[in-house]
Structure formats: structure tokens, C-alpha cells
Chain A
């Protein structure tokens, strides 16, 4: 086992208060990516 994640980073990843705000941020950001529309590619690029 090789420690690749520092203690401070691990604290950030697992702290419930920080992660609560990260949860809100992630939810919005993911919503924007996946609900941000989709379409064809052929007309746009041809």
C-alpha cells in the first residue's frame, strides 16, 4: 500500500461539512453537464 493521498487531502475528502457543500456543487455541475442538452454531430461538423 502506497500513500498517494495526503492527510490534508483525505481530511478534505471525508469531512462531512466540506463535503456537504461539495455535494451541492457536484449536483449542480453534473446536472449542467448531463441535462445541458445533446444533439447530432453530422450537420454541425460537416
Chain B
């Protein structure tokens, strides 16, 4: 009998738990530890942030589902890792702290045979002075509660605009090293469409601010893609959409301080500037959770497990951008020091960025961190689960592999909500990390598998994915037929 402990119940943790439970017999225990009581389908937060969906449409409680499916669940957060056990507890364990109910505050040691760290990122608002969702007129859509809050503020501003107020709306990244530009891109297009729907578009100045060097970088160094009969850069595609929608942009901006209605930022030219706004949605930096790890003698071994995020089978040798390769990226997400620990999704430490790193004249690094959200999170979680199942069943070696350098991803970016008025920018990328050796003439991507489309079908597709993935997450009949 084996015990598999999964830390986190986001896309990655939940996918791993669901596949493990489906494929392992009942003698094996699958235990999920998460501080959150709900599963949330994060990609639909955008629609909560414009008031077109309610939170309860994108989430459901985990405890009843896990009880029904025979998955153990503890609503707690992990505090420390003890991969060798210690004098009292001989087997590997993690220390957890309950966050709710009668057990709130209680500390417990949870032993494991296999550990999946799917804790995702810490939303590091504190890395930007004054950036705290709901204060200084700045908001976030990173969680459903943040998105709800953002909608209330935006709705209030729209009502004021209906009375004649002129407003400036700033959307983008809130730190020089933020990632997840795609979410901000979706949000700015949705907000712009909502302003038109409420007949207040003419009174608003809508501005994109980002740490990208070019539009459409998305933390993936941009992509060269097929668009109809043409081949164009993602920068050209996004520029076309922004100009058509009357959205202005500020690029190469490292936002470093937020005051009431003012965003201060540094440019790659080394200038310090500021932008005023009436409403802002800024994506924070993502960081690791600052976990500590200890060996059996209680010595600190954090550096064996973490480098911000969790260390896995990547090549972490520091090297210049010109020497980066797809081989640097992990394939199995297994920790090199402790083979029974894995970190899929956002929890693994990337070997480096994907976008070319850029430094301002003042020495500030201003460029996007690599994205690992959504689809890659699900795919890497499933392959980790499959490798653990194989190992439990006596197979030698890890046969399931999925490097971001040999994996496709689809970004179905909502560009406006509505069954007849909606729109979506659908972009697929293969591979996620460009392979310049395999595809030297197309900027590291395979054309045909890397393509873009704009139109109403994109909105329908995003909506269809919303319902399909919530169906899958609820583990309803034949859920496993829906790919990650």
C-alpha cells in the first residue's frame, strides 16, 4: 500500500489527484492538502472581473467531491518539508497547519510515500510597493474573490462615466518580473468591450502597461504564427487588435510602486515615469512560498528542494540567453535529491525565462517570467501521476515525459463576452519553449501547429472549455476522456 500526498488543489494538484484515484486501487491512499475549500477554474476569472459570470459558476467545494471519490482531504497549508523524516517520525513527512474549523491552527505531521508539490505560486503583491488588491484603485483577477472585487470597482466607475466622468483605465503587469500577461491581455479586451456595451467607451482612455519588450510576448518570447494565409508575429497580431480597439500601450515597463491612482514604473531606457489611472488591474509577480526543508538531523536542507520554486530535473546551470536550449527544461518534474518528490505545474523552478532577459540602464531586470499556467499545469500533473502509478506497479524508470520544449499549448484568450457579440483570440503554440535547432526558420516554433484566429468562434470555444473543464474537474462520467 502506498500513500500519495498532494499539496495544493488547483489545476495541477486536482488533475494529479483525480488521475491517481481513478487508476490506483483503493488500498492506496490519495490525500490532498490545500488551504482552499473550493476548486476554481481560474481562466474564467476574467468573466467574473467584468460581471458576466458569478463566482459560483466557476468554483465548487472540494470536500464533498473528494469524500465521494475516496480521496482524503485536509484543509490546511504546508509549513515545512522533512523528506528524510526525523528522530520521532522515521518516514518522510510534511508538517501542515489547519486553516479552518475546530482544528484551526493545529499542526500535524503527514507522512508520505510519494509527494506531489502542486502549491503553485505565491501571488507576491508585496514585491511591488502599494500593490494590494482593492487598495489605491488597483485590483487583480488572480482569484475569484479578487475578480469579484475588481468588478465592483469597475462597475462603480462605469456608473460614474454614465454621469459624464472621463476615466483612465490601466491594465497589465504590476512588477518588472511578472508573468501571466495572457490574463491581463484577456482582461483589457473584455473591459474595453464592456465599456462599449455600456456606451461609455468614448469617455475612457484604455492603456496596456507591461514588462514585455514587444506586444504579444506573453512570456514566451513572442511567436511567429500562421494567421489565415499569412505568417505574422504575435506582436503584429496584438498591435492590430489594440489599434483597432483604440488601446494604447506602454512596453518595457517595470512597475515598482503604486500610490492612490498612480503607477510608478521604470523603463528599459532607465527613466522613471508614472501613469495616473482611475481603475487598474495589475498582475503581481509570482514567487515561491518560502518553504523550508530539514533533514533527519533537523539541519536545513532547503537548497536541496527549493530555488524559490521546487527544484526538479531541469538544467539550472546559469548561461547566457544565446545558449539556452529546450534540453534545459524538465521532463519528469522529479526532485533530483529525493526521487519520491515531484513538482508539476507552476510549483517547479524553471531553469530560466523563455523571453529574452532585458535589463534597464539602471540595472533593473525588466522582462517576463516564464508562464506555466493552465494547460501545461494539467499535462505535467497527469504525467507525474502516471509515473507514480507505474512506480507503484513495479515499473523501473520514469517513462512519461513532457518537456515544455516538446509540448503544445492553446491560449484561448477571451476578447469580449457574448453569444453573438463576443470574440476570442485563439493562439496555439508548439512547442511552448522555442526549439531553435528543430525549427530554425520559424523562430523556434512549428508553423501550422502555431497559429492564430480572431473571432466569435474563439469566444464560443473558451465558453465550451469552461463547461468541459468544470465537468472534468467534478469527475463526472467519462471525465478522463477530456484531455488536459
Which residues of chain A have a CB within 8 Å of any CB of chain B? Answer: 1-5, 12-16, 19-20, 22-23, 26-27, 29-36, 38-42, 44-46
Contacts and interface: CB of A to CB of B under 8 A. Distances in A.
A16 B423 CA distance: 11
B461 A26 contact: yes
Contact of B402 (A2, A20, A36, A39): A39
Contacts of B326: 41, 45
A33 B405 contact: no
Interface stretch (B40-48, B181-189, B406-414): B406-414
Contacts of A26: 426, 453, 457-458, 461
Given A4-B240, A34-B483, A19 B408 contact: no
Which of B457, B461, B484 gathers most chain A CB within 10 Å? B457
B244 A5 contact: yes
A34 B456 contact: no
Interface of B: 240-241, 243-246, 326-327, 329, 331, 375, 379, 383, 401-403, 405-410, 412, 420-421, 423, 426, 428, 430, 435, 437-438, 449, 451, 453-458, 460-461, 464, 483-484
A38 B403 contact: yes
12 contacts: A4-B241, A13-B456, A26-B426, A26-B453, A26-B458, A30-B410, A31-B483, A38-B402, A38-B406, A40-B403, A41-B329, A41-B406
Given A33-B449, A45-B437, A22 B455 contact: yes
Contact of B331 (A12, A22, A41): A41
Nearest to B428: A33
Nearest to A42: B327
Given A1-B244, A13-B456, 17 more contacts: A1-B246, A3-B244, A4-B243, A12-B455, A13-B455, A14-B420, A15-B456, A16-B420, A19-B457, A22-B457, A26-B426, A29-B451, A30-B426, A38-B379, A38-B406, A38-B408, A39-B331
B345 to A, nearest CB: 15
A21 B93 CA distance: 53
Contacts of B421: 14
Contact of B455 (A14, A31, A33, A34): A14
Given A34-B409, A34-B428, A39 B457 contact: no
A39 B403 contact: yes
A39 to B, nearest CB: 5
B454 to A, nearest CB: 6
A36 B412 CA distance: 17
B426 A33 contact: no
B430 A33 contact: yes
A19 B454 contact: no
B437 to A, nearest CB: 6
A29 B59 CA distance: 28
Contact of A44 (B241, B406, B410, B457): B406
B237 to A, nearest CB: 10
Nearest to B421: A14
Contacts of A42: 327, 331, 403
A4 B244 contact: yes
Nearest to A1: B246
A40 B423 contact: no
Contacts of A31: 483
Given A33-B408, A41-B329, A23 B461 contact: yes
